[in-house]
């Protein structure tokens, strides 16, 4: 059974969705950079070890990443899962876990990297928005894509309503990505893309706005 460590910065809703998905893995620990992160209490209720590596206690990003990797390595994880972890990691840290570090981002990458993705999607007038699970590389939000979910952007959408609908899809696809990892079905190709071994055929297309009848 695979062993994972989850990193969070806040309430940890994606972490909670992973815990509730009953995946064939062991969550060895939940680690946060913020001692006030609400997700720590959730993890403790599930009997999971928690640790805090407060970024404010370190002089720079490199020192923080060194302390963080020390805590992570104590649990010998097969995979490190970023679930709302709001710190930019150094290249040395990312390369240490290359191929074993994944993240979920609230946009259809490569569009809208970085922050404020839902506001920017609305301002750009895109008709389809969503979320992406990807392997992490030193270039921010540009790692090999594992799975994406797309939703239509509604004329009535606000930043909050769009974010809520995207978050519901995040909870679904992150667990799926982890299941594929546990089953040994994720392969990074020489071209830097991800192949899902024995993936099902494509489903129906999402078109937004829908065609006139």
Q: What is the mean pLDDT of residues 153-157?
A: 97
E strands, 124-164, are 128-135, 145-152
**CATH homologous superfamily of 104-204:** Formyl transferase, N-terminal domain (3.40.50.170)
C-alpha distance from residue 100 to each of 1, 127, 169, 181 (Å): 15, 33, 23, 10
The CATH number of the domain covering residues in 1-97: 3.40.50.170
The token pair at 7 is: 């990193």
- 171 as an active site residue: the answer is no
Q: Is residue 62 within 8 Å of 92, Cβ to Cβ? A: yes
pLDDT band at residue 213, thresholds of 50, 70 and 90? low
Using CA atoms, how far apart are residues 151 and 33, in angstroms rounded to an integer?
A: 31
Q: Which of 55, 105, 129, 134 is catalytic?
A: 105
Cα dihedral across residues 152, 156, 160, 165: positive or negative = negative
Q: Is the confidence at residue 56, as pLDDT, over 80? A: yes
Closest CA to 10 of 89, 64, 70, 85: 85
Which residues does residue 145 pair with via DSSP β-bridges, in sequence order? Answer: 134
pLDDT, tens digit, 9 for 90 and up, residues 61-75: 999 999 999 999 999
pLDDT, tens digit, 9 for 90 and up, residues 83-121: 999 999 999 999 999 999 999 999 999 999 999 999 999
pLDDT band at residue 204, thresholds of 50, 70 and 90? confident
Using CA atoms, how far apart are residues 179 and 196, in angstroms rounded to an integer?
A: 11
Q: What CA dihedral angle connects 106, 111, 117 and 119, to 10 degrees? A: -140
What are the residue ranges spanned by the domains of the chain?
A: 1-97, 104-204
Q: Is the confidence at residue 188, as pLDDT, over 70? A: yes
């Amino acid at each position: 059974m695979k062993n994972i460590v989850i990193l969070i910065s806040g309430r940890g809703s994606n972490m909670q969705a992973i815990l509730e998905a009953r995946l064939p893995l062991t969550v060895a620990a939940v680690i946060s950079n913020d001692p006030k992160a609400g997700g720590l209490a959730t993890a403790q209720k599930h009997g999971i070890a928690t640790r805090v590596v407060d970024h404010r206690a370190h002089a720079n990003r490199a020192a923080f990443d060194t302390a963080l990797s020390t805590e992570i390595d104590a649990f010998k994880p097969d995979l490190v899962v970023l679930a709302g972890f709001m710190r930019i990691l150094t290249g040395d840290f990312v390369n240490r876990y290359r191929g074993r570090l994944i993240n979920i981002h609230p946009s259809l990458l490569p569009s809208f990297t970085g922050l404020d993705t839902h506001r920017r999607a609305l301002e750009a007038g895109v008709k389809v928005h969503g979320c992406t699970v990807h392997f992490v590389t030193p270039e921010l939000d540009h790692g090999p894509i594992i799975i994406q979910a797309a939703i239509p952007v509604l004329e009535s959408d606000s930043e909050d309503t769009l974010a809520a609908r995207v978050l519901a899809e995040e909870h679904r696809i992150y667990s799926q990505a982890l299941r594929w990892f546990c089953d040994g079905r994720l392969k990074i190709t020489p071209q830097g893309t991800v192949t899902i071994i024995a993936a099902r055929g494509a489903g129906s297309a999402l078109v937004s706005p829908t065609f006139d009848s």
